[in-house]
Amino acid sequence: MRAWPSPDVPVLPTTGPAVTLHDSATDALVTTSPRGAARMYVCGITPYDATHMGHAATYVAFDLLNRAWRSAGHEVTYVQNVTDVDDPLLERATRVNVDWRELALRETELFRQDMAALRVLAPAHFVGAVESIPLVVDLIETLQAAGSIYAVEDDLYFSVTADPAFGSHSRLSTAQMLEIYPERGGDPERPGKRDPLDCVVWRGAREGEPSWESPFGPGRPGWHVECTAIAMEHLGGAFDVQGGGSDLVFPHHEMCAGHAHVADPTNVFAQVYAHAGMVAYDGEKMSKSRGNLVFVSALRNSDVDPMAIRLVLLNHHYRSDWEWLDGELWEAVDTLQTWRRALSLGAGAPAEPVVTEVLTALAEDLDAPRAVAAVQAWVDATLGVSGHLADASDADAALTMHSLLDAALGLAL
């Protein structure tokens, strides 16, 4: 499907360092070393409701990675899916009495507008589940040939024991996986399953639900296999980074890795599994079921500067869990006003060292708060807050800083 219009990325005078990233599968910092274009897959939305701040935080986090790689001189092939048919979407469509296709189209369009407003670089391939059904069918047939698929009534399941590495990506014990699984869409209790952790890859047609013809009978794809099929098709094996929110560590990314490994035992799915923290509001993780959501579109409709929203997100390290506080948004609005004042002067404190500091901070596990602090120090010096501008003025500082803010942090001021 169509992505959103991607903002231009200014070219910086300095090349950034190689990018290190925390890998959830090894709990270690890994230096990414893309061969050719850097390849990144970030799990997309299920378009049944507007983009909330938890989503925005995840997509801005991986946008920083996209930008850090570009600063380091890499091209980036970015793929994102849209789960445009799945239980939550169908349930919501029924509840609000809207055709599920119409709901998916509407919410996907709103997501595009939110991403464009936040200046998130668009994926090269923005791929829906429905349009990927032939890919999913192919992958299930490959998994079938490998002996890892069995039926429970009209549904097909993937046998997790087929992957000897199953569990290694999330580093969870079987007991921990069993505890989390039902909270995240799993059905460990279903009679007929060989292992409680096995996941559905093809859901047979149900009365009143959409379905598509396949060699396994009419039905629709499971969620995990959708991402595996899309990622393998557009990125190939052992791509650089599989990304998403930390609630995808298990089962979603574990299952994707399992499918890919069984489909091609000589390969791995991704080299690094990176996860963004959860955003809370009113003391609890922001989630649809709790109803404690702050929507990007609602703030935009109240004429909030999207760059201020983005700055709030940048002020929290992507891996931390944090709470959205309205006060931080108003502080960000004030901060940007000060930054714009400093940029309007043209000349300022030397910008070159700030370029290096910001690119270095972002290359070290996307340390956006440190990058923001470096910009703030430049603003303070330029506005004379720290009082040592006179002996170190840079006539083109504002030009350089404009480019830096835009290219590295996605802030167009």
Chain residues that interact with Zn ion, rule: CB under 5 A: 43, 227
State the minimum distance, in angstroms, from the CB of residue 136 to Zn ion: 13
Structure tokens at 23: 């890998």
Nearer to Zn ion, 18 or 238 (CB): 238
Nearer to Zn ion, 227 or 232 (CB): 227
Task: Quote the distance between the C-alpha of residue 179 and its chain's center.
Answer: 25
Tally of CB atoms within 10 A around 4: 19
Structure tokens at 155: 């549904």
| Amino acid sitting at position 336 | L
Tally of CB atoms within 10 A around 161: 12
Q: Output the CA angle 158-161-167, nearest 5 degrees.
A: 100
Nearer to Zn ion, 81 or 335 (CB): 81
Nearer to Zn ion, 118 or 227 (CB): 227
State the minimum distance, in angstroms, from the CB of residue 309 to Zn ion: 24
Residue 199 CB contacts under 8 Å (≥ 6 apart), including other chains: 157, 158, 160, 186, 222, 224, 251, 255
| Amino acid sitting at position 66 | N
Nearer to Zn ion, 43 or 329 (CB): 43
Nearer to Zn ion, 102 or 131 (CB): 131
Tally of CB atoms within 10 A around 152: 16
State the minimum distance, in angstroms, from the CB of residue 305 to Zn ion: 31
Percent of residues in the chain assigned helix, strand, coil, to nearest 5: 45, 15, 40
State the minimum distance, in angstroms, from the CB of residue 275 to Zn ion: 12
Nearer to Zn ion, 227 or 405 (CB): 227
State the minimum distance, in angstroms, from the CB of residue 159 to Zn ion: 20
Residue 384 CB contacts under 8 Å (≥ 6 apart), including other chains: none
Task: Give the helix/strand (H/E) hosting 330.
Answer: helix 326-343
Of 1, 276, 235, residue with least CA distance to 112:
1
Nearer to Zn ion, 12 or 260 (CB): 260
Distance CA 378, CA 402 (A): 12
State the minimum distance, in angstroms, from the CB of residue 166 to Zn ion: 17
Hey, which bits of 259-354 come out as E strands? 270-276, 279-281, 284-285, 322-323
Task: Quote the distance between the C-alpha of residue 35 and its chain's center.
Answer: 22
| Amino acid sitting at position 13 | P
Nearer to Zn ion, 227 or 413 (CB): 227
State the minimum distance, in angstroms, from the CB of residue 81 to Zn ion: 6
Nearer to Zn ion, 248 or 262 (CB): 248
Of 279, 275, 9, 274, residue with least CA distance to 119:
9
Q: What are the counts of helices (DSSP H) followed by strands (DSSP E) for the chain?
A: 13, 14
DSSP lists the bridge partners of residue 295 as 52
Distance CA 317, CA 57 (A): 10
